[in-house]
Structures are given as structure tokens and as C-alpha cells.
Chains A and B, each alone.
Chain A
Amino acid sequence: MTRLLVALTLLLAFLVAASLAYGDVSLSWRELYHAFTGTGDPDPQSAMIVHDLRLPRVLLALLVGVALATAGTITQAVMRNPLAEPGVLGINSGAAAAAMAVIVLIQDPPVALLQAAGFFGAAAMALAVYALAWRSGTSSLRIILIGIGLSSLATAGTTFLSAFGDIGDVQRAMVWLAGSVYDANMIKVRLLALWLIIPVTLAFLTVRELDLIRLSDNSAKSLGQPVDRVRGLMIVLVTVLSGAAVAVSGLIGFVGLVAPHIARRLVGASYAWILPVAALVGACLVVAADLIGRIILPPAQIPAGIVTGLVGAPFFAYLLWGRRHGHG
């Protein structure tokens, strides 16, 4: 297991280095090393490309991947549903509706407004789902169903705007909705990193609770877990994590769904292992997706959210069906 963690970390480091090196201006490994460390008289242009353009973007992709995968892992455990991802809490549809409204209704919205709309749309929907599902306690099924209902209302709003809005605005909104990390800078990276520290730490401290709540409400209760309180805390964590990811990068789907499944396939059922492995897998997925989206059809940049689907889906299929002896 430790070997797997090391291997994944090495893979992530390799992907990060490759993302720094490849692009419209490709650098050799030696040039990259000099530009990155500032030793050996580096070319100022490549130093600028590495430090100001590619590094923030790679770090942002990495953080977004960690956030989405952690949120997805928690959601699947709490909802006890293999299809569950942060989207079942209405996070995606809320963010999409808010962002679509901002893009279509406001002339040339500032990026900060778009991000705020994304985060608050997501948070408001998650809160509404949880509040409506609360009837002297919650149940996972009720949260899922209320999530479906509220999401469909928000999606109806998004669909309405996309059917009647200005076609250029709709297309811009689609790019945002597809999810990408193209306008990264160091301030954004630091903010997101600070923002993620507390929820990610909390998630890692509470893996034992995930092992329990995954079973069923009754079993978890009889093992002494305050189920409603844990579920509430976990939903707050998911909202904070994926809301932040959505705000900086739009809707990068599939990572939250597939990273936990890949992790479970690799390390079995204990969340103490699933959570770190899923976080690493998620980071690798988003970093790789952004890299591929940048270099596959230059100068066009394919949004990372589309590449996660295009590359992640076949890879996941291979993991599930390609190997003879799965864990069932």
C-alpha cells in the first residue's frame, strides 16, 4: 500500500514536471531545471513561462483534483451510492445556474463575480437540499431525492437561459461549465490552498467515521456513531471542498465520481487508504487532463473538464474490465 502511495506520488510529480515543460514553447528537462531553480543562467523568457504561466496553472489543477476527489469520496461513503458525486447535493446544478445567469444576463461580467456566483450557487443549493431533507434527522435516500428535485429546478433555469440567451454568451458559458484552469495565477493558488487546508485535514481525521457511515444508519448508530451529526459535517466538508473547486475551475465533472472508484479498486475498502489514494488519483487526473487539453490541438485549448471525460472514461473502463482479477 505504501508502495502504491509512493508510485502515485512519483506519477504526480512526473505529470507536474511534464506540464511545466510542454506547451506552445517546449523546454528540455535541463532548461526546465535551470528555469525552475534559477541556476545556470536561465533564459528569462522560459523562466517567466515556467514561473508565471505554467506553475500556477499546474498547482491549481493539482489542488482542484485533490478537492474534487476528496469531496467525491466522502459523498459516495455518506450517500452509500456508487453513482453519488458532489453533484447529488445540487452543487453542480446550483453553480451552473448561477454562472449561466451571470454570463447571459450581465454584459462582460468580471471573473471574480463569476467565481463568487459559482461558489454561492453551489453552497446555496447544498444548504437548500440539506434543509429540505431535514425532518427530525436526515436519511441518505431523502437527501438524494431532494437533490434530484432541486437540481432539476436549477437545471431548468440553466436550460432556459441556454435556449434563449445570446448564442455567443451561451457558448462562453459552455466553456466555463465544461471546467478549465486556464486563467490561473499565484494569488488564486494560495487562496485555494489556504481554503482547502482545513476541510482536507478534517476529512483525513474523520476517515473512521466514513468507514462506519458507509454501512447503514442502523449499524453506524449501534456502533456509537451520531449519524445525523456526522452526515451534516460531511456534507459541509463536501460543499466547502467542491464549492471552492467549482468557483476556480468551473464544472470539472467525472473526477469526483471516478477517483474514489479507482482508489477502491486499488486499495480495498478501508477509507484510511481510499481517501489519500483517491486524492492523489484526482490530482493526477486533472493535471494530466489539463496538460493533454493544452498540447493535443494547439493553439486551441480543450477545457480540462472535457478531457477528464475523454481520457478518464476509457482509463476507468480499462481498470474495471481490463484486469482479470478485480476485487468484485
Chain B
Amino acid sequence: MTDRRAGHMTATDGGRLLAFAALLCLLVLAALSAIALGTVAMPPSTVTAAIFQFDGSRDHLLVTTVRLPRIIAALLVGSALAVSGAIMQAITNNPLASPGLLGINAGAAFAVVSVMSLFGAGIGDLYIWLALLGAAIAAIVVYALGSFGAVGQSSLGLVLAGAIVATFLTSLTTAVLIFDQSTLEAVRLWTAGSVTGRTMAQARTVAPYILTGLVAALLLGRHLTTLSLGADASRSLGQNPVVWRGASVAIVILLAGSAVALCGPIGFVGLVVPHIVRMIVGVDFRWVIPFCALGGALLVVVADAAGRLVFGSQSFPVGVTIALVGAPFFLYLARTRLRGEA
């Protein structure tokens, strides 16, 4: 099967498979070197030894308690956000859509900020569950609002409902932060998006949801391609768009909700990585989803490492470096690859 919108190199399934394998190798390489490099550089053998033959030495402790959890968080979050972004763009047929459009970021931020403002900043790991809960509730409200009434028949309902709920919650959050400086102080690094200081326990809390979501998204690929043609086309091809849109939204909640809970509202990955992937491998979601998973993970791992190595700060928000690393590449692609009109 060939796809004329794909680049010449990856126009065949064989080419895509090769590119996928190359991307996978690149990701493993990037992850391992991100663990090895830092204020204390260590040889790759130490890294593998720390993972597989832990002996309690200082280097091994550094790897298992600081760097490894951070990388795992970056991998999980990157793949989850990119895949959920691809799903969102498919079900809304809108290039401006991202997981944030489902109210995920706004809901999570509102839940965390309001609870911190009411009960103080010392809520520990509880904020992960708060963010997850806030994201899920907001997304369910968006989906419910977007699915009934006359506008619910097309994707327009979902899009407008998302814009409404996200705006409402963001306004509430801003109102709280403007009057409450101590909460602003406590959450501003989280709202910038950060993988600093994530623990294995935190990663383990959300990992099951993200992995389930990723597997489900991979299985959904064919239906997403059909959905991305629009509700009318999907219906005439025998698909029930409402059912599959619902399933897709559930997956997005799992993926993006967990990602935001772990690392804060990172916007760029979910919006841009799917575009990059589609410009390179074409519009078949059986390929877009796996490429997004790898590409998103790679972007976040590289961006986090860049923040640590180039800016020399452990707490440099990864949300910033992601844009600095990813945006120029995306701009280049958008300028050169996009010839057709829309």
C-alpha cells in the first residue's frame, strides 16, 4: 500500500518498518545516554549494571533513584501525550486539536490549584490523583456536552464544548492564582511542565494507565483512520462514529490525564508531534500511532537531557526545552512538506 502524501523514503510499508526500527534504536540510545550523562557522567556499563545488578553503590543509587525514574517519566509522558494528540486530531478533524482541547490540562490544573489553595501546598503525592481526577471529570463533561444536541452529530460539538470547558476552568484557575501568591509559587513549576524529581513510586502509579491506553490506541488504529475522514464518511463506511469517538475519548483520558498528572500540562507534544509524524509517514493511523509513541518519547527525553546538560539546571522545566527543541524542526517541516491547500 502506498501513500502519495508520505515522503519518498517512507512511502512503502517496508520503508516505514525500517524507519520505525531506526527510531526505536535512536530512542533506546537517547534514553541510555540521558541516564549516563549529567553532573556525574558514568559509562554505559555502570548504567546497565545499576539496572540489572544493583549493588547499592553511590552511582547505582543515583541511577535507580534519580535518573531512571526521571527518564521513565519522560518516556511515559512523551508517548502518552503524542498518541493522545494524534487521536484528538483524528476524532475532531481539526489540526488545532490537542489533548488540552478535551479540558484535560485545564481540569488537572484547576483541581491541583484549588485544593492547594484551600488546604495548603503540602499535599505530597496526592496531587497526582487530584490531577488525574480533575482531568477525567473535565474530559467527561466535555464529551457529554459535545455529544448531545444538534451540534453533537458532527465533531463541531466536541470542539466547541472543549473550548468552553477549558476556558471556564482556566479562568477559574487564573482567578485563584491572581489572589493567592503562595499557591502560585507552589504550582508554577508544575504548570510549566517538569519531570524533575519524579520518583519511581509516582511513575508506577500512572504507568498502568498509560500502558493500557497505548495498547488500546494501537488496536484502534484502523478505526481512527476512518474517523479522521469525518462523521459522514465514517458512517457511510459502516462505522458507528459515536461509539468509536467515545472509545477514543476514553483512551485520551487515560493517556493524557496520567501524563498531565505526572508531569504537568505540557502542551507542545500533543499538538505538534502528531503533525510531524503525519507529515513524514502519511495519514494511516496504524502507522501514525506507533510513530507518535516513539517520537513523543524521544522528544521529551532529548528535551529533558538538553535542559539538564545545556542549561545546567536540574529543574529547568522540560515544557520550555521541548518547544525549543521541537518547534524549529516542526516549522521546517510545515514549510517544506505542506504543499497542498486546505
A178, B174: Cβ atoms under 8 Å? yes
Residue of B whose beta carbon sits closest to that of A174: B178
CA A88 to CA B97, docked complex, whole Å? 12
Nearest CB on A from B234, distance (A): 18
Q: Is B319's CB within 8 Å of the partner chain A?
A: yes
Q: Which residues of B contact A116 (CB under 8 A)?
A: none
Q: Which residues of B contact A80 (CB under 8 A)?
A: 342
A150, B331: Cβ atoms under 8 Å? yes
A139, B338: Cβ atoms under 8 Å? yes
Q: Contacting chain A: which of B21-29, B44-52, B158-166, B223-231? A: B158-166
Task: Tell me the chain A residues, 302-328 only, with Cβ under 8 Å from chain B.
Answer: 302-303, 305-310, 312-314, 316-317, 320-321, 325-328
Interface bracket on A: 35 or more
B167, A254: Cβ atoms under 8 Å? yes
Residue of B whose beta carbon sits closest to that of A265: B151
Given the contacts A141-B341, A144-B96, A320-B160, A159 and B165 also touching, CB distance less than 8 Å: no
A163, B189: Cβ atoms under 8 Å? yes
Q: Which residues of A contact B96 (CB under 8 A)?
A: 81, 83-84, 88, 144, 148
B168, A314: Cβ atoms under 8 Å? yes
Given the contacts A152-B267, A170-B184, A163 and B160 also touching, CB distance less than 8 Å: no
Given the contacts A83-B159, A170-B184, A303-B178, A321 and B149 also touching, CB distance less than 8 Å: yes
Task: Tell me the chain A residues, 291-309 only, with Cβ under 8 Å from chain B.
Answer: 300, 302-303, 305-309
Q: Which residues of A contact B30 (CB under 8 A)?
A: none
Nearest CB on B from A265, distance (A): 10
B167, A313: Cβ atoms under 8 Å? yes
A309, B170: Cβ atoms under 8 Å? yes
Q: Is B40's CB within 8 Å of the partner chain A?
A: no
Q: Is B308's CB within 8 Å of the partner chain A?
A: no
Task: Tell me the chain A residues, 98-120 only, with Cβ under 8 Å from chain B.
Answer: none
CA A175 to CA B324, docked complex, whole Å? 26
Q: Which residues of A contact B150 (CB under 8 A)?
A: 325-328
Give 11 pairs: A residue, B residue, CB < 8 Å, sorted on A: A83-B163, A142-B334, A146-B334, A149-B327, A163-B192, A167-B184, A178-B174, A254-B167, A303-B178, A321-B145, A326-B150
